[in-house]
Chains A and B, each alone.
Chain A
Amino acid sequence: MVKILIKLSEALVAKPTTAEIILEHKVPINIITAHVTSKGGDYLVDIPDEWLETVVTAYRKKGALVTLPKLVEIDKDKCFNCGACVSICPVGAITVAEDKSVNFDQEKCLGSTCSACVEACPARAIKSVKQNNHELANNTH
């Protein structure tokens, strides 16, 4: 699965843009978070790898801005496994293992749309890291 960020303009949120893409291309789009007002919308969606190109092209064709979200990364050298981040995470991406290590599941993480853990880390071991958008562009040309 790949997470992508979709930015819809005022005109695009006025129409059922995402529904149109799903119906037209028969693609499984899983909306994880959505912040939508009459002025526009930001969606974080999960797409199976094989559908990435179709979905990105379809959204771009309609005029939406498609980017990769920033990823949250834990610097294992800085982390001292306190676990302050665990109860802050809204999706259970951070857990405590049997040996009391703090584990991070990149797949579950909402990335830059959340980042709640970043400021909760006393070790300042958690950073929001920009992904290389070239990869997304190359894949979908």
Chain B
Amino acid sequence: MPLSVGYLLGETKLKTKQNTRTIDEINEKIRNGDAQVLTAEEMKRLVESSGVEVAFREVDVVTTGTFGAMCSSGAIINVGHSDPPIKIEKAWINDVPICHPGAAVDLYIGATTMSEQQPFEYGGGHVIEELVGGKEVDFKATAYGTDCYPRTQVKTRLTKDDLNQFYLLNFRNCYQRYNCAVNGRDETIYTYMGKLLPRMRNATFSGAGELNPLMNDPDYETIGLGTRIFLGGAQGYVIGEGTQHDPQNRFGTIMVRGDAKKMSPEFLRGAAFTRYGTTLYVGLGIPIPILNEGLAKKTAIRDEEIFTSVVDYGVPRMDRPKLGQVSYKELKSGFITVKDDRIKVSSLSSLKTARKIAGTLKSWIAQGEFFLTAPVERLPIDSVFKPMRRTEATPFVASVMQTAVTCHANEKIRTIAGRMVTHSVNHIIVVDDVGKLGGIVTSWDITRALAEGKPALADIMTRRVVTAKPDEPLEVASRRMAQHSISALPVIDAERKVLGIVTAEDVSKLLGR
């Protein structure tokens, strides 16, 4: 019996040696300068030309990279104690408010927090880039004062060398893939997916596709708590799943940490999305150890095998309409086809920098400057990304809309003025014989018609009317009124038949503004 067990173990061991390799073995090779490292793009070419078996035998590590806007990023800083000491209540760096979630002088610079002086142009992401680049920043803080921390305000200038700790601590980075965004509305919209032209005249996407770290190890065999990575130009670590990690839909994310003092502004860039806000572009690369043939095959994944949805960001809801599927190959080609329309598409993340990251990580490993780690705990493969629990009903347009007072285009202004008084309304909707929207006329239009002596409704009515749909959330209709500086929206159905009217007054009664 003992003999046969030993025999079996020996056989298994022998087999293991042929079909797998360990991280320790790879690190030994790195130490000896013998490790074979390819970037993900090179690996794909090798598998294509020589097959998985050869690729597994010859390659120890595949490097990946991505460089994109990652809003859930920031940095922990400890600014040291002043004399007399202060227990910071509020703090600012270059006029950007800084979070104070902890004790006296521990602060967190959030990438999306915007400057009070230049909102939408300068924010936490820019502060991090400047500090990482060695620049001096203006620091100020206020406090309520205590017996142990009597100071109530402090002002100074700081560089990264003055900080005790300066750690990048990003709670959601490196989305495995992301949506392709278009805008089905009639006006340009400004989103976190960039500027989207009306009627789907352009599209944007994010992500490195076949170069993306998580895409090359989609079952997270080698990635988890403790995985050493390229982060912002230095070595960093994965510290677990990122927020909104959604592995079953291939929308995995990671949480990362790294010493920002060692990072480079080339791989950490503050950015501003017009009318959306500021963010941080983060450079991140993960080395995938080729432990078995399965991983060799997985790292061979190509852009044409990675699909994502084309999503209409013109619909401001949690579930936005999906208009189709496209591959990263199409996205990177510059054009996608959606419902027979050819649409020009822009990348928001930099493929050039993603390649540079994969290349840099490759050279670090090849030169023996970077060793691999096995995760202490792998990323979960079964977590579920839930929407917010709802305890209050969302008000919709249908719930506040009123019956519209209408008129026909051939009616006299005098008659319409009379109707406004009778119904005590400020808006009358112009409809055709079947009740379809033709225009709108306000009490102000009537006043102007009188003052300027214009007798016909056709001269004063507004024909390009901003409208609402009954199933839209009231918040959305309210924002539309504010954006167009108007006080009412006709509510119409898909055939443009008038169903009612929603006024700013009705909205403020319900939303309290």
Contact = CB atoms under 8 A, between A and B. Distances in A.
B204 A84 contact: yes
A81 B344 contact: no
Interface residue SS majority, chain A: loop
Interface stretch (B3-11, B284-292, B351-359, B480-488): B351-359
A87 B346 contact: yes
A82 B69 CA distance: 10
Interface in B265-310: 269, 271-274, 279, 281
Contact of A87 (B279, B345, B349, B351): B345
Contact of B194 (A81, A99, A101, A122): A122
A124 B194 contact: no
Contacts of B334: 86, 96
Contacts of B195: 84, 88, 116, 119-120
A88 B198 CA distance: 11
Given A88-B197, A119-B195, A100 B204 contact: no
A100 B348 contact: no
Contact of B346 (A86, A100, A119, A123): A86
A83 interface: yes
A119 B190 CA distance: 10
Interface of B: 67-69, 121, 194-195, 197, 202-204, 269, 271-274, 279, 281, 334, 343-353, 355
Contact of A82 (B274, B345, B347): B347
Contacts of A123: 269, 271
B274 A83 contact: no
Nearest to A79: B350
A120 B350 contact: no
A25 B352 CA distance: 49
Contacts of A124: 121, 271-272
Given A96-B334, A120-B274, A85 B346 contact: yes
Contact of B351 (A88, A100, A120): A100
A84 B194 contact: yes
B204 A122 contact: no
Given A80-B353, A81-B352, 5 more contacts: A82-B348, A83-B348, A86-B334, A88-B202, A119-B195
Nearest to B122: A124
Contacts of B273: 122
A80 B281 contact: yes
25 contacts: A80-B269, A80-B350, A81-B351, A82-B349, A82-B350, A83-B347, A83-B348, A84-B346, A86-B344, A87-B197, A87-B202, A87-B343, A87-B344, A87-B345, A87-B346, A96-B334, A96-B347, A100-B352, A119-B274, A120-B194, A120-B274, A122-B69, A122-B271, A122-B279, A122-B281
B480 to A, nearest CB: 21
Contacts of B281: 80, 82, 122
Q: How large is the interface on A (under 10, 10 to 19, 20 to 34, 35 or more residues)?
A: 10 to 19
Nearest to B347: A83
Interface in A31-62: none
B121 A101 contact: no
Contacts of B203: 87
A80 B351 CA distance: 10
Contacts of B346: 83-88
A84 B181 CA distance: 12
Contacts of A80: 67, 269, 281, 350, 353
Nearest to B269: A80
A87 B204 contact: yes
Given A87-B345, A96-B334, A81 B350 contact: yes
Contacts of B347: 82-84, 86, 96
Interface in A60-97: 80-88, 96
Nearest to B346: A87
B352 A84 contact: no
Interface in A100-132: 100-101, 116, 119-120, 122-124
A99 B352 contact: yes
